Structure 1
Amino acid sequence: METAAPWLLGFLIVQRLAELILARRNTARLLERGAREVAPGHYPLIVLLHSAWIATLLWFGHDQPVHPGWLAVFAALQGLRVWILATLGERWTTRIIVLDAPLVAAGPFRYLRHPNYTLVVAEIAVVPLALGLPLIALLFTLLNAAVLAIRIRAEDRALRGST
């Protein structure tokens, strides 16, 4: 699938931009309802990591053939993304926003504590692999693990109410 890389990367960019718009809208609504943001200090690291990942994919992967098997895994992951977004609805955001309401325990949250992070971990590895870039998959998987260690610790602390 030689000409598919621009389509895959274009989809990824449009998807991420749409998610940022949705997240910004949801964050504003949650804050209006009395929610509060917790531990915003690491958020620029997340933005930097994801921006660098996409830029690196564009630089090294724009003209690479797309491996159909990895593309199929990526497509399957999009089903998980839709399930997560549908389950969280207006509570989905890219920041740690705590609302005085019960935690969501439906959908993928019945099976995974942090399904969105599981999805992102998988995508950060799968997209470069789909483009034949295993070293980029490894590098950004390691960087993402470091950022997620900070993020998940902060989120768990916030959800326990001990921020």
Structure 2
Amino acid sequence: MSVALYVALVVATGLERLAELVVSARHARWSFERGGVESGRGHFGPMVVLHSALLVACVVEVVALDRPFLPWLGWPMLAVVVASQGLRWWCIATLGPQWNTRVIVVPGLSMVRRGPYRWIPHPNYVAVALEGIALPLVHSAWITAVAFTVLNAWLLLGFRIPAEERALRGALGPGPDPGRR
């Protein structure tokens, strides 16, 4: 894969992220109209910066450090990128208007326990983690893959997932697994 095609892949990923933000804004309005409560605002800005930096760093590392495309690595990683997008959109479709890039919970709604949420507590975060490793490795940008993975794990495990689980417990009451929506 040429560098130009890789840059096109990263740009396409960025456009997909913008589409997510449009969907998220629509879902946020829906949630707030139904009494939705937002939690965990403090970590949202750093998450946006990190996810934006992932896209920039992918291109910068490949161009500045002349990272090669290694077919034995790049093609499987491209398949993981595509699969992670599929998982992400499966999550969005499953949660419907309850899906959001922010932590907004509408009190009284029941937990969603279908789709990928039947098997994985936080499948959207699995998709993000997979993409964060695979997208840079499509063109062997391993520094970006490692840096994003470490910082993303810190944000998710230290802030995002605990905030989401607290919000779900508060809105839905105690249950077997607040992470499964």
TM-score by length of 2: 0.84
> Which residue of the partner structure matches residue 133 of structure 2?
125
> Which residue of the partner structure matches residue 34 of structure 1?
35
- Gaps spanning 5+ residues in structure 1: where? none
1:111 paired with 2:119, answer: yes
- Gaps spanning 5+ residues in structure 2: where? 172-181
Q: Distance in 2 between matches of 1:38 and 1:73?
A: 31
> Which residue of the partner structure matches residue 59 of structure 1?
60
Equivalent pairs: percent with the same residue?
Answer: 41
Q: Distance in 1 between matches of 2:97 and 2:62?
A: 34
TM-score by length of 1: 0.92
RMSD of aligned residue pairs (Cα, Å) = 1.6
Q: Which amino acid aligns with 1:136?
A: T
> Which residue of the partner structure matches residue 90 of structure 2?
83
Q: Which amino acid aligns with 2:100?
A: T
- Larger radius of gyration between Structure 1 and Structure 2: 2
Q: Distance in 2 between matches of 1:132 and 1:161?
A: 43
Q: Distance in 2 between matches of 1:84 and 1:39?
A: 20
**How far 1:19 sits from its partner (Å)?**
0.6
1:138 paired with 2:139, answer: no
Q: Which amino acid aligns with 1:122?
A: L
Q: Distance in 1 between matches of 2:84 and 2:47?
A: 20
SS of equivalent to 1:161: helix
1:93 paired with 2:120, answer: no
Residue deviations 1:2-49 (CA, integer Å, cap 9, x gap)? 242022112101101111111111111110111110121111111111
Q: Distance in 2 between matches of 1:10 and 1:89?
A: 26
Q: Distance in 1 between matches of 2:62 and 2:15?
A: 17
Alpha-carbon contact 2:84-2:128 (below 8 Å) kept: no
Count of paired positions: 162
**How far 1:151 sits from its partner (Å)?**
0.6
Alpha-carbon contact 2:40-2:103 (below 8 Å) kept: yes
> Which residue of the partner structure matches residue 48 of structure 1?
49
